[in-house]
Amino acid sequence: MNTQTTDARATIRLGHSPDPDDAFMWWPLFERDGEPARLASDRFKFVQVVEDIETLNNRACESDHDSALEITGISCACYPHIADRYVITGCGASVGDGYGPRLVAREHTDLETLRTTRPSIAVPGDRTTAYLVSSLMLGRDAVNWTSMPFDEIPEAVTSGRFDAGVVIHESQLTFEEEGLVQIQDLGAWWEGERNLPLPLGANVVRRDLDDRFGAGASQEIVGLLEASLSYSMEHRDESIRRAQEWARGLDADITGAFVDLYVNRWTLDYGERGREAVRVLLQSASEAGLLPECPAPDFLSTT
């Protein structure tokens, strides 16, 4: 007799980058090695989709109806391109409070020199917030920008192929070990300009979830995201061990330090100041001609 049961739950694909902070936030939602998810749902089964942030940005912008992920991490700079199809969740943000990606080089220089010498600068993707803020800071036309995978940027600068680079993820903590010096912390620059934290990454869900899965689906899904974050933070040691699997050889102390940078009070909920930071960033970029005009972003949460 066939005793195999069919899983009737709806599949929710959750896209995140292969980085410790994202892994830290969402691991309780996924089944693993035949074991149920820590936060199992009777209605939804979460499936992990891991891609670098620029791939997730491009997928959100370019996917058709069937291939567009139900939930995905994106760069905040990407949001105006997808605002008609996705809404930002109130949780899951990566926000730098006076810190952020670093503009680095082999030798120290200053921003004014960079603005006047048309340097070559490597960035981690055309749709990343790191590239957007770098362009606001230096001027889009003042630099020869080149987009490349984030993990190739340090070597591209140390080798002399580029004058400078914008590093994200763990290279924000390890660039000195790779023989580079900081020219500017983008989060510190933004705070000095606007007196606001720098919203780097956002978590978004499709606007059609209720139509596809029934009334209340979007609220239930966002509630599970909020519960995952709370569970991860309450079980920090175990969550760090899970995050370590995506740490690309970093020791646990550096992994923990990186997680602490970007899983913080803003991640649990933007709050009014965090939401204002998103609005100001997108408006500033639109006024500078770097992003299309976007209606004031809306946020979905259970509170």
Question: pLDDT higher for 189 or 242?
Answer: 189
Question: 194, 225, 245: which is the final residue of a domain?
Answer: 194
Same domain, 88 and 64: yes
Same domain, 140 and 116: yes
Same domain, 217 and 70: yes
pLDDT exceeds cutoff 90 at 249: no
Task: Identify whether 56 is part of a domain.
Answer: yes
Same domain, 88 and 118: no
CATH of the domain at 174: 3.40.190.10
Task: Identify whether 254 is part of a domain.
Answer: yes
What percent of the chain has a predicted confidence (pLDDT) above 90?
81
Half-sphere exposure of residue 120: CA atoms within 13 angstroms, side-chain side: 11
Q: What is the pLDDT of residue 186?
A: 98
Task: Identify whether 113 is part of a domain.
Answer: yes
Q: What is the pLDDT of residue 4?
A: 55
Q: What is the pLDDT of residue 166?
A: 97
Same domain, 206 and 230: yes
Structure confidence at residue 1 as a pLDDT band (50, 70, 90): very low
- E strand or H helix at 265: helix 265-268
Averaged pLDDT for residues 130-150 = 96
Task: Identify whether 72 is part of a domain.
Answer: yes
**Total length of the chain:** 303
Between CA 202 and CA 78 the distance in angstroms is: 9
Between CA 15 and CA 25 the distance in angstroms is: 12
Question: pLDDT higher for 190 or 248?
Answer: 190
Task: Identify whether 3 is part of a domain.
Answer: no
Q: What is the pLDDT of residue 11?
A: 97
Task: Identify whether 284 is part of a domain.
Answer: yes
Structure confidence at residue 255 as a pLDDT band (50, 70, 90): confident
Task: Identify whether 268 is part of a domain.
Answer: yes
Question: 154, 171, 194: which is the final residue of a domain?
Answer: 194
What percent of the chain has a predicted confidence (pLDDT) above 70?
98
Same domain, 88 and 132: no
- Count of structural domains, the chain: 2
Q: What is the pLDDT of residue 34?
A: 84
Question: 168, 194, 220: which is the final residue of a domain?
Answer: 194
What's the token pair of residue 49?
């989709």
Between CA 81 and CA 62 the distance in angstroms is: 10
pLDDT in tens, 84-112: 999 999 999 999 999 999 999 999 999 99
Same domain, 83 and 110: no
What domain range includes position 128? 102-194
Averaged pLDDT for residues 180-209 = 97
Q: What is the pLDDT of residue 302?
A: 92
Give the pairing of strands 181-185 and 86-89. Answer: unpaired
Question: pLDDT higher for 227 or 8?
Answer: 227
Strands (E) across the chain are located at 10-16, 44-50, 71-75, 86-89, 94-96, 102-105, 120-123, 144-147, 164-167, 181-185, 198-206, 299-300
Query: Is 169 a known active-site residue?
Result: yes
Question: pLDDT higher for 47 or 65?
Answer: 47
Same domain, 86 and 205: yes
Same domain, 232 and 290: yes
Who's near 187: CB < 8 A, 6+ residues apart? Answer: 96, 97, 98, 99, 100, 101, 197, 198
Same domain, 111 and 245: no
Whole-number mean pLDDT of the chain?
94
Same domain, 136 and 43: no
Q: Which of 16, 65, 81, 169 is catalytic?
A: 169
Structure confidence at residue 253 as a pLDDT band (50, 70, 90): confident
Same domain, 16 and 90: yes
What's the token pair of residue 142?
């003042």
Task: Identify whether 5 is part of a domain.
Answer: no
pLDDT in tens, 7-17: 889 999 999 99
